[in-house]
Chain A
Amino acid sequence: MIGGLFIYNHKGEVLISRVYRDDIGRNAVDAFRVNVIHARQQVRSPVTNIARTSFFHVKRSNIWLAVVTKQNVNAAMVFEFLYKMCDVMASYFGKISEENIKNNFVLIYELLDEILDFGYPQNSETGSLKTFITQQGIKGQHQTKEEQSQITSQVTGQIGWRREGIKYRRNELFLDVLESVNLLMSPQGQVLSAHVSGRVVMKSYLSGMPECKFGMNDKIIIDKAGKGGVTNEAGKSTSGKQSIAIDDCTFNQCVRLSKFDSERSISFIPPDGEYELMRYRTTKDIILPFRVIPLVREVGRTKLEVKVVIKSNFKPSLLAQKIEVRIPTPLNTSGVQVICMKGKAKYKASENAIVWKIKRMAGMKESQISAEIELLPTNDKKKWARPPISMNFEVPFAPSGLKVRYLKVFESKLNYSDHDVIKWVRYIGRSGIYETRC
């Protein structure tokens, strides 16, 4: 199991050190600093073995978090734990920075004591942690016995993510479908790989212990319903693509997995506040919101001509936002001249790229940029590696075609019904790694 956890600043100074196992000595702290943080070459693996001691590390801005162990631990669990630890810290004091960690070190120790016991991860739900790790020390004494047992039963209980007795005057639900569309395209416009990884994020402000059921246009469900004789003619005619094939999905721990496995229905008792209900991945019939057409011509040894066309490929009534095209330039670039029809374009020498920004763009439009790149003559034999052109954008629909069909709320004990809950649904498609080779 986990033997200890250290947090370092970018210089390698220890900010937090908590050792759980006797086989981890103080020298482990230094071993990691010397061999990883101060290593001459960039470390090539997130797992490092130094003198039969294994170190797992992640970096958040310039803070290093390292788990150390001498045993054959579950490596996936260690990383999941590290990410979780970052989430918990962030929800307590915001950004993970040296200053914040120093200011909150007592809190962090308290959290580490609670979240890990003898190196075994315990409860790590921020919601329930916040009920008893408060940094107002005295709270423990003012709680009634009832409150105390409520805390412990929640921490250890089957529904560790929600406490009893939540009340809202207005029962409200916000549902965001957030997708990132990833693309790798050849210079000839052939899709080499494309997938959408999506998340359904919810903010629920519901009273009591509501039972929820979430439905979307999952192909398997729709096909099943179709076979069952309940054909929905109206649904078919409205849009050409009414159901989507989901390659795989994972759920928040509140979702009953066995029920999904047997009936493919998504039912759960939601945590209070914001949480991620599910993640999914699709690869079929993806709407690629933009197409990038690159043209790079080398004119002699000291000049490059670049022309890039982008085409938007969605309903004209919709608007894409925050469009940014990044065109890499060679290292020996001496000067760049750009002309673009729309938006603003700039050569950023420090990033070795031309960055072209467009605030808004409607569907079924196209725009173009052309640039002349002057090169310094070099005697470097190696050719320029031509990194791909990457793109960023945000569109108000789900590129996978996912649609929320329903989200039903049942709370039998309190007297509000599904109709009384105010629900908001929003779709946002963003670019993930959206690259076109040139």
Chain B
Amino acid sequence: MVCSVSICAGEIFELKAELNSDKKEKKKEAVKKVIASMTVGKDVSALFPDVVNCMQTDNLELKKLVYLYLMNYAKSQPDMAIMAVNTFVKDCEDANPLIRALAVRTMGCIRVDKITEYLCEPLRKCLKDEDPYVRKTAAVCVAKLHDINAQLVEDQGFLDTLKDLISDSNPMVVANAVAALSEIAESHPNSNLLDLNPQSINKLLTALNECTEWGQIFILDCLANYTPRDDRESQSICERVTPRLSHANSAVVLSAVKVLMKFMEMLPKDLDYYSTLLKKLAPPLVTLLSAEPELQYVALRNINLIVQKRPEILKHEMKVFFVKYNDPIYVKLEKLDIMIRLASQANIAQVLAELKEYATEVDVDFVRKAVRAIGRCAIKVEQSAERCVSTLLDLIQTKVNYVVQEAIVVIKDIFRKYPNKYESVIATLCENLDSLDEPEARAAMIWIVGEYAERIDNADELLESFLEGFHDESTQVQLQLLTAIVKLFLKKPTETQELVQQVLSLATQDSDNPDLRDRGYIYWRLLSTDPVAAKEVVLAEKPLISEETDLIEPTLLEELICHIGTLASVYHKPPSAFVEGSRGVMHKRLPARTGSGESTESPDVGAAGGSAPEAAPSIIPSQGDLLGDLLNLDMAPPTTSGPPPPSTGMQMGGMDLLGGGLDSLVGISHSVDPYAMGAGFGAAPAVMPASLNAPVGGGLGDLFDLGGVGMPMGAYIPPKIVWLPAMKAKGLEISGTFARRAGVIQMELILTNKAMSVMTDFAIQFNRNSFGLAPAGPLQVLTPLGPNQTIEVSLPLSTVGPVMKMDPLNNLQVAVKNNIDVFYFSCQYPISMLFVEDGKMERQVFLATWKDIPNDNESQFQIKDCHLNSDAASSKLQGSNIFTIAKRTVEGQDMLYMSIKLSNGIWVLAELRVQAGNPNYTISLKCRAPEVSQCVFQCYEAVLKN
């Protein structure tokens, strides 16, 4: 429908005549008519020269109208647009600041490449204009120009001028400069444009108090990108941001919340200020709920994230999320979501009473969600289970079709959580068999019949009745029916032989669905080869289901917390999922707290992993395995909204699935497990096709998740990553990193018990490795680790252990034992922790050694996008025991000569070339053992970039 509205020639002709009229009023009226046609999408570009002719006027209103026209059509008539340049240049020198600003504002919107060059001079003047109104407009204009021609802006030095404006005396100029710089920086992710340091932060915080509400938003959003150096700085910023929580503008409040949520990560939890801050956050969040409904919606979507990250903030505020009869439906649904998250033993009675009320409302989606919520409450709060079940039964009695179906789906979950407790209701459920027409409800009912086949007299008849229309059922129901009949057969083999044969042949011979066929064959073979084993597999005890569902996967949650207030937080998707081009592709992360690991606190997503495409809407087993998946996980329909997986490289070594690590521990070289391999391939597409993920999706997704956490090589002291996920270790999760502190190498571990029982008797052992790393003492876990507890341990390491070359060189295989079992994992350490303190070589020795080492041993690397100057680089490297011995400057190029000594006495010599203004460094490494070069280079990169 683009410009499809036609305009007749006569009309154009008439307008043309009027535009060229001598009378000012007539001219103005004509331009108005042109703009009106433009608005509704009529093509009036034919009038371009006539309209531009009206530009030279002293009537401000007319001028603005002409400018409006210009912005719209300049692009389609680039040659004629040049006609306008002169006027712009002239207007930029006008005595009236309003006119100067108008000119500079408009000319940035003329997106014609040819013109941009002419505009640089006027813009430069306006950036230094005496009037703040002109300066603030010029600041935004730089961003406009950058959008048209980034190179031009850089070449003309506008970026530096823009940076200077951050120190402007006028707060609004500061705010606009910040907004412009933030936008430009977003399209250059690695540039150092927004060079935030304590001084510039201080300036921003000062301007924050004085500028308009919108300016405050720009500044706060910019602040949120800063990472304070330590907890003290972070506290002082928090203190200065907190007053914004009382601003009338909700966006200011939310942006302030974002800054606080982010910087809070860095504060030690035992600090008094930390708890004060937590308390201060609740009231403003609640106040957002009395805003207009659209804002309430944005606020609720954000509160949903905040509640997942820090449930303690709003735990006493349940009542404010009660649904009002007149709330728009989008507000109602969001409130309900948060109510479920906040439900606890303390408030369950109230919540249940509310939910029961909601279940009688009109809106179908809302009612369904309310019914589902009742089930969630039963699972979450054990004391309330009985009441919830009876409420659900009451609802089933209403016979309202969708209520019944929804209730059956949640009752299935309740059965799994409390086995052998509420089976008495099965009879009531069976009465409603005929009214079930949704796949999820049918599958749930079939599961119940299969699971309790021994207590339902006519289980075979019931299942048989479903079998009649087997091919018309959805995959979910088919899979479930297959499993249920096999269960029935194992429980009552005599009467149901015929039935099981029937279903197996339906599944294997008559079906095109590979999942169904595969599962059919597995059962068939199991049953025919070893019925006892079949019983053990199919009727195995099921893992417990977790209390929380629909939790956002922790790394995504962290990213979304950094995007509070923005669209990403409304969609609950990272910006890369809905923003095109380079903008917003950068993944933001929360800062790590010094000395403790936030990652282990992340909500238990257990086995199925939030990023697994199947993200079960009803149940996630907390400790599933592939078998568990086979049995139970096909309940969940695959949802399409799975977040795209992070794209960091996979790390095969870290993923010993089925005991591959054991072999390598006893000396056989490490082999890549075929399962891990498969996972690598399987997880490649962003969203797996639905048919693929049903049986093994959980396991695969999780594996991939692990790979995405990031290489430990990221930093000098790399951020802690999960080495051993809970699902691989019967509930024990280990994450950690390596550090060198005061000459001692330390392995810093966080152990989290995600199982239901207490863990004791921890011990640790390393496999032989390249540099002889070995624990220097026992693993100090003195107190037993209770369920859901976390402990941080620091293990000093020595380098006198047995040596065996590993591939990669810095691979370390670890065994951890506790009272439950022995677990294996492997990780990679940054080689920089092996650099010893006395690694500074004498100059002469250096020269001699450099010459002595054959040139074949020299390797060259490039370090890209590093913006330090040579001195800063040198001092930064020194912190990691990389010593600069000499510096030479040749033709503007700094050459730094450095030496490193490894703990096993190997010397590495380096030559680092830094050219001023070029962010790419060249590094040459020489060493008698050239295999370490690659690792050393990685350290350089990690140290310089962090």
* Chains A and B bind each other: yes
15 additional A-B residue pairs with CB within 8 Å, beyond A17-B41, A122-B176, A433-B325 = A30-B2, A46-B297, A49-B571, A52-B578, A109-B65, A117-B176, A122-B212, A137-B28, A153-B132, A192-B322, A247-B287, A250-B246, A250-B287, A278-B248, A381-B400
Give the docked Cα–Cα distance between A192 and B354 (Å). 9
| The stretch of B91-99, B420-428, B609-617, B734-742 that contacts the partner chain | B91-99
CB closest residue in chain B, given A21 = B147
* Known A-B contacts A137-B61, A258-B243; A80 and B249 likewise in contact (beta carbons under 8 Å): yes
| The stretch of B355-363, B369-377, B714-722 that contacts the partner chain | B355-363
Question: In the complex, how many angstroms separate the beta carbon of B364 from the nearest chain A beta carbon?
Answer: 11
CB closest residue in chain A, given B137 = A117
CB closest residue in chain B, given A23 = B580
User: B787 in the interface, Cβ–Cβ < 8 Å?
Assistant: no
The interface on chain B, measured as residues whose beta carbon lies within 8 A of the other chain's beta carbons, has a size of 116
Chain A binding surface, main DSSP class: mixed
User: A121 in the interface, Cβ–Cβ < 8 Å?
Assistant: yes
User: B295 in the interface, Cβ–Cβ < 8 Å?
Assistant: yes
Give the docked Cα–Cα distance between A320 and B399 (Å). 45
Chain B binding surface, main DSSP class: helix
| The stretch of A8-16, A351-359, A361-369, A407-415 that contacts the partner chain | A8-16
User: A106 in the interface, Cβ–Cβ < 8 Å?
Assistant: yes
Q: B570 to chain A: which residues have CB within 8 Å?
A: 47, 75
Q: Could you tell me which residues of chain A, from 206 to 230, have a CB within 8 Å of some CB in chain B?
A: none
User: A58 in the interface, Cβ–Cβ < 8 Å?
Assistant: yes
Q: B325 to chain A: which residues have CB within 8 Å?
A: 387-388, 390, 433, 435
User: B3 in the interface, Cβ–Cβ < 8 Å?
Assistant: yes
* Known A-B contacts A22-B147, A26-B3, A113-B105; A74 and B251 likewise in contact (beta carbons under 8 Å): yes
| A76 lies within 8 A of B362 (CB) | no
Question: In the complex, how many angstroms separate the beta carbon of A350 from the nearest chain B beta carbon?
Answer: 18
Q: A251 to chain B: which residues have CB within 8 Å?
A: 246-248
| A184 lies within 8 A of B41 (CB) | no
| B324 lies within 8 A of A435 (CB) | yes
Which residue of the partner chain, among B183, B292, B361, B563, contacts A83 with CB atoms under 8 Å? B292
Which residue of the partner chain, among B132, B286, B357, contacts A152 with CB atoms under 8 Å? B132
User: A317 in the interface, Cβ–Cβ < 8 Å?
Assistant: no
| A276 lies within 8 A of B248 (CB) | yes
CB closest residue in chain B, given A112 = B68
Give the docked Cα–Cα distance between A370 and B171 (Å). 63
Q: Could you tell me which residues of chain A, from 69 to 125, have a CB within 8 Å of some CB in chain B?
A: 69-77, 79-83, 105-106, 109-110, 113, 117-118, 120-125
| B96 lies within 8 A of A381 (CB) | no
Most chain B beta-carbon neighbours within 10 Å: one of A23, A121, A276 = A121
What string of 1s and 0s marks CB contacts (under 8 Å) between A363-391 and chain B?
Answer: 00000000000000000011101111010
The interface on chain A, measured as residues whose beta carbon lies within 8 A of the other chain's beta carbons, has a size of 106
Question: In the complex, how many angstroms separate the beta carbon of A377 from the nearest chain B beta carbon?
Answer: 18
Give the docked Cα–Cα distance between A70 and B131 (Å). 33
CB closest residue in chain B, given A262 = B243
User: A56 in the interface, Cβ–Cβ < 8 Å?
Assistant: yes
User: A241 in the interface, Cβ–Cβ < 8 Å?
Assistant: no
23 contacts between A and B (CB under 8 A): A21-B147, A26-B41, A30-B2, A47-B297, A72-B563, A74-B255, A76-B251, A77-B217, A77-B255, A83-B295, A113-B67, A113-B105, A123-B172, A148-B98, A158-B171, A160-B172, A193-B320, A248-B246, A249-B246, A253-B212, A253-B249, A385-B362, A435-B325
- Which residues of B are in contact with A by a Cβ distance under 8 Å? 1-3, 28, 32, 35-36, 39-41, 58-62, 64-65, 67-68, 72, 95-99, 101, 105, 108-109, 111, 131-134, 136-137, 140-141, 143-144, 147, 170-173, 176, 179, 183, 209-214, 217-218, 221, 240, 242-244, 246-251, 253-255, 283-284, 286-287, 290, 292-295, 297-299, 319-320, 322, 324-326, 329-330, 333, 350, 353-354, 357, 360-362, 365, 398-400, 563, 565-571, 575, 578-580, 583-584
Counting from the closest, the 8 A-B pairs by CB-CB distance are A137-B61, A248-B283, A152-B133, A76-B251, A261-B243, A77-B251, A257-B243, A72-B575
CB closest residue in chain A, given B333 = A44
- Which residues of A are in contact with B by a Cβ distance under 8 Å? 1, 13-17, 19-23, 25-27, 29-30, 42, 44-47, 49, 52, 54, 56-58, 69-77, 79-83, 105-106, 109-110, 113, 117-118, 120-125, 132, 135, 137-141, 143, 145, 148-149, 151-153, 155-158, 160, 184, 186, 192-193, 195, 197, 247-253, 256-258, 260-261, 276, 278-279, 281, 381-383, 385-388, 390, 433, 435, 437
